[in-house]
A and B are shown apart, each in its own frame.
Chain A
Amino acid sequence: MPRDIGIGLAFGILFLVALLGQAIAGFDVYNNEQVSQGLQTMTFVQYLVSASFMADVMENWQSEYLQFLLYIVATVWLVHRGSPESKQPGDEGRMSDAKQLVGAHAKRTSPAWAKTGGWRTWVYGRSLSLVMGTIFVLSWLSQSIAGWSTYDASQLRAYEHPVSWPGYVTSADFWSRTLQNWQSELLAVGSMAVFAVYLRERGSSESKLVGSAHDATGETP
């Protein structure tokens, strides 16, 4: 049974291990800085619920969810000839109900909301981007609030003026934290789509078959 859900299980475990590692390393960095400034250190549990840790986690979450949100939505209308990540050129757009197996074209095994038609089918047909987009917005909002608190705490440690939340979300600190994540995510996902035109990974669902032609588009095992 675990083999059937291996991808979710493996990445879920790796995520928790990496998050714990980040927490331990971040806790050490935070307390070292506090000691060097003659300030109070935190316990590990206090660090886990601190704005500092939350800002570090949320700034990465928002960029990852934005990356996949953009990729999911952009690949509705954009194609890349030869990429296994792309639809066939000519299939751009939301496609017909017949191709998408919705409404009257739904099969017996289709999800209930794919069969019903109307707003339910409209929403279900965009549910992936709606959920990914909601998580992106919430995590970016959370980054802005936690980052604001962390930034103002550092301002006060240096005897400087704190800023308001609108002041923070228009500050260089907020956009530096945000854009350094966005650029790397966009590079990684874009380069994977292009590399996969010419490069292969035998057995991977993200790759074309090793023997597929370079201009074969959307072919995955």
Chain B
Amino acid sequence: MFADRGYCEAVIMRVCVGLAGLLLLGGCGHGATAGPSSAALGFARAVTAHQGGRACSLLAPATRAQLESSQGKPCAEAVLGQSVPSSNAVRRADQYGTESRVMLDKDVVFVARFSLGWRVVAAACKDRGQKLPYDCQISGG
């Protein structure tokens, strides 16, 4: 009887400790921002170096399709016609789950994680103030 009670108390204690750990761990949704930063900077540098094919390989599928559709040209050609500021450094990156905003020295780029890695979903974005969405020249729609 007393052995049973001790066993029950031990099980309850383990469940409580596990629950507390799960609750705290579960809330944490942030990760390293090396992937997003690398994709954003790689895209900006590729456009600056007139490497359209490389720039397009770093675009998200929907963004690439939108760019080709709106410009009526293949992506590699269309992307070089956009006014993408020539950035060389990452000032700040914020990541929440599979979404990230990378603030480059001369541009703001939105990046998302896909099965092949981080890809640019919007670039050449202008800040219109805290309450309004960025105005992005390249975006997925």
Contacts and interface: CB of A to CB of B under 8 A. Distances in A.
B94 A146 contact: no
Interface of B: 16, 19-20, 23-24, 26-30, 60-63, 65, 94, 96-101, 110, 112-115, 121-122, 125, 130, 132-134, 136, 139-141
Contacts of A52: 97
A141 to B, nearest CB: 7
The CB with the most chain B CB atoms within 10 A, among A40, A150, A155, is that of: A40
B26 A142 contact: yes
A135 interface: yes
Interface of A: 37-40, 42, 49-52, 54, 57-58, 131, 134-135, 138-139, 141-146, 148-150, 152-153, 155-162
A160 B129 CA distance: 9
Given A38-B60, A40-B113, A40-B115, A153 B97 contact: yes
A42 B114 CA distance: 9
Nearest to A157: B99
A40 B119 CA distance: 10
28 contacts: A37-B140, A38-B61, A38-B63, A38-B65, A38-B140, A39-B62, A49-B26, A50-B29, A51-B27, A54-B27, A131-B16, A134-B20, A138-B24, A142-B23, A142-B24, A142-B26, A149-B30, A149-B96, A153-B29, A153-B96, A153-B97, A153-B98, A155-B96, A159-B122, A159-B125, A159-B133, A160-B134, A162-B101
Nearest to A50: B97
B98 A40 contact: yes
Contacts of B98: 39-40, 42, 153
A58 B27 contact: yes
Given A131-B16, A142-B24, A145-B27, A150 B97 contact: yes
Nearest to B130: A161
A57 B61 CA distance: 32
Interface of B, helix, strand, loop or mixed by DSSP? mixed
Given A51-B27, A146-B29, A149-B30, A40 B94 contact: no
A159 B134 contact: yes
Contact of A156 (B26, B99, B139, B141): B99
A51 B112 contact: no
Residue among A37, A52, A142, A155 having the largest count of chain B Cβ atoms under 10 Å:
A142
B95 to A, nearest CB: 9
A150 B29 contact: yes
A156 to B, nearest CB: 4
A19 B141 CA distance: 35
A203 B133 CA distance: 59
Nearest to B27: A145
B133 A160 contact: yes
Given A156-B99, A156-B101, A159-B139, A40 B112 contact: yes
B37 to A, nearest CB: 14
A39 B112 contact: yes
Contacts of B136: 159
Given A141-B24, A143-B27, A153-B29, 15 more contacts: A37-B62, A38-B65, A40-B115, A50-B29, A51-B29, A58-B26, A138-B19, A138-B24, A139-B23, A156-B94, A156-B96, A157-B112, A159-B125, A162-B94, A162-B101
